Amino acid sequence: MANLVRMITRKIVGAPAAQSSPAPAPPPQAPKIWYDHCSISDFELGKILGAGSFGRVSVAKHKETNHVCAAKSLNKASILKSKQMEHVKAEKNNLQKIDFPFIVNLHGCCQDRNSVHLIMEYISGGDFFGYLRGKGKFDENTARFYAAQVLLAFEYIHSMNIIYRDLKPENLLLDEKGNIKIADFGFAKKIEHRTFTLCGTPDYLAPEILLNKGHGKPVDWWTFGVLIYEMLAGYPPFYDEEVTGTYQKILDGKLVFPGHFSKNAKDLIRKLLTADLTKRIGCLKDGVSEIKNHPWFAGLKWQDIIYKVLTPPLKPKPLASPEDTSNFEGSAVSPAKEHSVLLTDEEQELFRDL
């Protein structure tokens, strides 16, 4: 599964909130499964899908119902050591409120002496990053399809005053049919105006983050532009072997496009990767509608996207069983024994509200 957490030191600008039309209503969905007062012992843990700096994601089967999900297990000692408590709480609280076709569902939360366990929807199609690296780059139709799904997800969370702040291919998953699911909400935050939290991934950082002036919803539209570029080129627009070089390129704002980019793709990316927040598309008077009406998306019926009418361009392998991990072939491994660090009662108390 996508990277659990990828955090770096960097700095942050904000802009007036754009006025935009309400997000489109998602189609009726099956009742959200919620395990109230669950314990990790209620689940049979299977292969590990991915691991991060203080946790891992495993396939899990609810013993009573046989419902297959994913358990995101975060080590408490590592959470405290890396000062990630607020991010863990934010991920749980935000995902509890969210119910959208292109965002992973949270089914419950529990903890034991060593770990906090977020019980998540199992997204079985594999990591989007793996598909992109496997193909090298996507054609514009493929990139447009997945960009549209991400856009609708951002429109939805922005309508709730939640910003995501960590868009990148590694944080996207594909479901069994090939539709996007955004995962890893550890850096997501509910805001009213601006925030100054230092978080993100170097290649995707907006200039306002680097300049340490506070940021808001516009950072998500910057990262959206970086994602479109990376899908079409196979690499991000400001890549450099050194992180400081990447930062300098972001601040310089010079874009170099490969020759195969269409005129409309280049125009949209330029308008998204604009440092001036009074000119960045998605942040202006018409809000996200201006992106949706851009010529690069011409001919796309947004209702067809949200209702999943269109056949996704990427095709995950069919599953042999609900807990099949073959679409995570390179990353899925058998579970290993977790190393535990004994916490004091005072430290355990910090987790009481989770």
Q: 10 Å Cβ neighbour count for 13?
A: 20
- Mapped onto helix, strand or coil, the DSSP state of residue 50 is strand
Tokens of 193: 């105006």
Provide the CA 235 distance to its chain's centre, in angstroms. 18
Q: 29 and 57 in contact (C-beta within 8 Å)? A: no
Answer yes or no: are the C-beta atoms of 221 and 282 closer than 8 Å.
Answer: yes
* Location of structure tokens 């997945």: 146
271-309 burial code (b ≥16 CB/10 A, e <16): bbbbbebeebbbbbeebbbbbbebebbeeeeeeebbebe
Question: Looking at residues 171-178, what average pLDDT do you find?
Answer: 97
CA angle, 230 then 236 then 238, to 5°: 150
CB 317 within 8 A of CB 124: no
Residue identified by tokens 């990316």 is 269
- List, for residues 110-160, the tens digit of each pLDDT value: 999 999 999 999 999 999 999 999 999 999 999 999 999 999 999 999 999
Indicate if the alpha-carbon torsion angle 188, 194, 199, 204 is positive or negative: positive
What dihedral angle (degrees, nearest 10) is formed by the CA atoms of 141, 101, 221, 261? -10
Q: Say if residues 253 and 183 touch (Cβ distance below 8 Å).
A: no
Q: Which of 166, 184, 203, 220 is catalytic?
A: 166
Q: Which residue has the tokens 């998306």?
A: 297
33 vs 153: CA distance, rounded Å? 20
> For residue 20, what pLDDT is reported?
41
Is pLDDT above 60 for 170? Answer: yes
Residue 9 CB coordination number (10 Å): 9
Quick one: DSSP state of residue 170? G
pLDDT band with cut points at 50, 70 and 90 for residue 14: very low
115 secondary structure, DSSP code? E
How far is Cα 317 from Cα 93, in angstroms, rounded to an integer? 33
Question: Please, is 87 exposed, middle or buried when counting C-beta atoms within 10 Å of its C-beta (0-12, 13-18, 19+)?
Answer: buried
| Inter-residue contact 124 to 319 (CB < 8 Å) | yes
Q: Summarize pLDDT for 64-96 with one digit per residue, the tens.
A: 999 999 999 999 999 999 888 988 998 999 999
User: Structure tokens of 324?
Assistant: 């099949």
Three-state SS at 353? coil
- Confidence band, pLDDT 50/70/90 cuts, at residue 19: very low
At residue 50, what are phi and psi to the nearest 5 degrees? Answer: -175, 160
- Quick check: is 166 catalytic? yes
Cα separation values, 157 from 146, 179, 303, 323, Å: 17, 18, 18, 29
State what percent of residues in the chain have pLDDT above 90: 68
pLDDT score of 21 more than 50: no
> What does the pLDDT look like over 302-343, one tens digit per residue?
999 999 999 999 999 999 999 999 999 765 455 445 556 778
State yes or no: 92 annotated in a binding site.
no
The pLDDT tens digits of the residues spanning 200-223 come to: 788 999 999 888 876 789 999 999
| Residue that is written with structure tokens 């996007």 in the block | 180
